[in-house]
Amino acid sequence: MVGYEKGAEVHLSQTEFVLAGAVAGIVSRFISQPLDVLKVKFQLQVEPIKTNRFSKYHAVGQAFRTIWKEEGLRALWLGHNPGQLLSISYGAVNFTSFEFFTKVSQQHLSIPRSPQSNFLCGMASGTLATTVSYPFDVLRTRFIAQGAKNVTSNSYRSMLGGLLKMIKKEGVRAPFKGLLPALMQGAPLIGVSFTTHSFVKSVLDRYESMSKGSNRLNLSGNMIAGGAAGFVSKTAIYPLDLIRRRMQFQGFQDARIGYGKNFTCWGLVHCVRVTVAEEGVRGLFKGYIPSAVKTTISTSLYFTAYEQTCDLIGLLHDLHVSD
């Protein structure tokens, strides 16, 4: 039921779509946060992701154990609070705007649902959601980067304090550092994600074991479609995700004590050039494995939680009507 569909069984208000999107974001963020921490740690590491005396992290399992041992279990949820606000705001704006755009395209522009319309509506909703929620993304990256035990004059103690310190030190544009690669990544990411989800959904609709009828998937069908959407979309644009993280971190290097060499760049193109020059083309894919696993799981949960919440709200509507 992702996206407005004529003849669909469940008809929810915009407020209810916001609620469903927010719930989807909360659930997926909490479960996938440790993998996100691993990904960011890898992305910010200039040293090779392999075993040598200079690299702090060189494998997923080793990184997981090192973070747990040195910083404690809570370190695997660093940046969780801004991450949750990111997921809530992003999920609410993303799904609500996607529902709105698909409804407008069908009802007012007479454009039928298709992979092309899903892609365009997904790009529009992704752009809007990324821009609105972006400051939370920058805060999340910096909380992860500074670690759980680094306490310096530059480290952040709270979200509000971190935001104010960031703006005071780096200017009002600081909360939007890396927005350009984020938008370059985010719009295609959501477009490919919704398109892949719709395509896999149309395939699974043919199998009675995956479908509930009336253009609806059951739980296992939603998990498969959502997982495929996450894997395909993340793989397509991963280098932009790495560049975004590194740009978000500029001006905050002093808080990353004990994690190896710091990376410095002055813009999107320069960031790409320096990364490739110092680390090779493979450097653009640092952290890909935990990222791919995390995105597959989180997107699967995202779509599933969204549709299950919509189903629950629809059920409550039916119970209210029957009363």
Domain-by-domain residue ranges, the chain? 14-322
Averaged pLDDT, 14-18: 76
Digit-coded pLDDT (tens) for 84-107: 998 888 878 887 888 889 888 888
pLDDT of residue 233: 75
**CATH code for the part of the protein at 14-322:** 1.50.40.10
How far is Cα 296 from Cα 50, in angstroms, rounded to an integer? 24
Handedness of CA 122, 129, 26, 80 (dihedral sign): positive
How far is Cα 165 from Cα 158, in angstroms, rounded to an integer? 10
Digit-coded pLDDT (tens) for 235-286: 778 898 999 999 999 999 888 878 888 899 999 999 999 999 999 999 999 9
Task: Residue 310: name the closest of 192, 207, 190, 216 by CA.
Answer: 216
How far is Cα 36 from Cα 77, in angstroms, rounded to an integer? 9
pTM of the model: 0.74
